[in-house]
Amino acid sequence: MVRFENVGLRYGTGPEVLRDISFELAAGSFHFLTGPTGAGKSSLLKLLTLSERPSRGLVTLFGQQLSKLPRGALPELRRRIGVVFQDFRLLDHMTVFDNVALPLRIAGTADRRIQEAVTDLLSWVGLGDRMHLLPPVLSGGQKQLVAIARAVVTSPQLIVADEPTGNIDREMSHKIMRLFIELNKLGTTVVVATHDMYLVDRLQKPVLELYEGKLAEASWWLSPDRAGRPAPEAPPDGPAAAPSDPPDPQAAPLDSRPDPRLDPRLDPRLDPLF
Ligand SMILES: Nc1ncnc2c1ncn2[C@@H]1O[C@H](COP(=O)(O)OP(=O)(O)OP(=O)(O)O)[C@@H](O)[C@H]1O
Ligand SMILES: [Mg+2]
């Protein structure tokens, strides 16, 4: 589905912001993309969504090598990809409904089908009563939900989401991730860039980790530093937390993460899918 071979990217004459990137995403796979601010996550996703071309190396998408593709072939490939941009990129002069309907209109979908699909999706994300508003009057989280609805409404083969839960609350984040998982089960390939290690630990999907423009070796859901992390010691005046007593992530200090070794199903507060 996606293959990067020794890919590099520089903006203009600046330094390379991505270097020696090689990986492969099988059709129907689900990957997270993580890394510190400025590591190059959005840049890598721009290559995936064909909004940037690599400065070197080979990118193959849907079995087609991009450097051999005539420019005229790009729109057709782009239509097979649903993108959630980090900065939403909604069209401010169009209503919420029309923003979500746009990719269906471009695909030539019948009006009745558009009405049904867009209304259903917007109601599902809780924006049924905001459909006829313009994006500037929405909250940041609401805009993000519109961007997500627009990305999935055409049932694309590949969904690329850049920090899709960065502006929405925990409950809605779970709902959105569940949507991505359901679409993935139906065969959609999904790539989600996120800083939210809580989601990453819970979902146990493979992780690509970027550091300063390079992919870490062995990028999997349990990264080597966390896999090798020693078990927490018992406090001097009490027993260690039992596995049936998972930590409350909300109460945890900012720099600590839920312990991935705990079975997420033990936590009744979480959606069963997590
Ligand atoms: N359009 C651009 N022109 C020049 N440099 C850019 C451009 N976009 C990004 N960069 C640079 O590329 C590097 C990687 O940026 P990128 O946005 O890909 O990081 P990121 O991992 O997505 O960060 P964040 O977690 O903040 O979203 C940064 O050093 C940034 O300054
Ligand atoms: Mg980014």
Q: What is the pLDDT of residue 218?
A: 53
Is there an atom of ligand 1 within 6 Å of 39 CB? yes
Q: CA–CA separation, 184 vs 80, rounded Å?
A: 15
Is there an atom of ligand 1 within 6 Å of 35 CB? yes
Is there an atom of ligand 1 within 6 Å of 13 CB? no
Helical spans, DSSP H, in 125-163: 140-152
User: What is the number of the ligand 1 atom nearest to the C-alpha of 37?
Assistant: 25
Give the residues of the chain that fall short of pLDDT 70. Answer: 217-274
Q: CA–CA separation, 274 vs 260, rounded Å?
A: 12
3-state secondary structure 175-234: HHHHHHHHHHHCCCEEEEECCCHHHHHHHCCCEEEEECCEECCCCCCCCHHHHCCCCCCC
Q: What is the pLDDT of residue 164?
A: 95
Q: What is the pLDDT of residue 262?
A: 33
Q: How far is CA 247 from CA 203, 205, 218, 264, in A?
A: 17, 21, 27, 11
Contact between 77 and 64 under an 8 Å Cβ cutoff? The reply is yes
Q: What is the pLDDT of residue 220?
A: 53
Q: CA–CA separation, 263 vs 267, rounded Å?
A: 8
Which DSSP letter does residue 270 get? S
Indicate the top mutation candidate among 10, 42, 89 to test ligand 1's pocket, ranked by most ligand atoms within 8 A of CB: 42
Concatenating the DSSP letter of every residue in 83-116 gives EE-TT----TTS-HHHHHHHHHHHTT--HHHHHH
Is there an atom of ligand 1 within 6 Å of 166 CB? no
Q: What's the predicted TM-score (pTM) here? A: 0.81
Residue type, 21: I
- Note the ligand closest to the C-alpha atom of 39: 1
pLDDT digits (tens, 9 = 90+) for 253-274: 333 333 333 333 333 333 334 4
Residue from 224, 182, 197 nearest 32 by CA? 197
Is there an atom of ligand 1 within 6 Å of 124 CB? no
Report CA 184 to chain centroid distance, whole Å: 12
Q: CA–CA separation, 231 vs 259, rounded Å?
A: 9
Q: What is the pLDDT of residue 221?
A: 47
Contact between 12 and 55 under an 8 Å Cβ cutoff? The reply is no
Which DSSP letter does residue 169 get? -
Residue from 127, 132, 133, 182 nearest 155 by CA? 182
Contact between 89 and 165 under an 8 Å Cβ cutoff? The reply is no
Residue from 2, 65, 63 nearest 28 by CA? 2
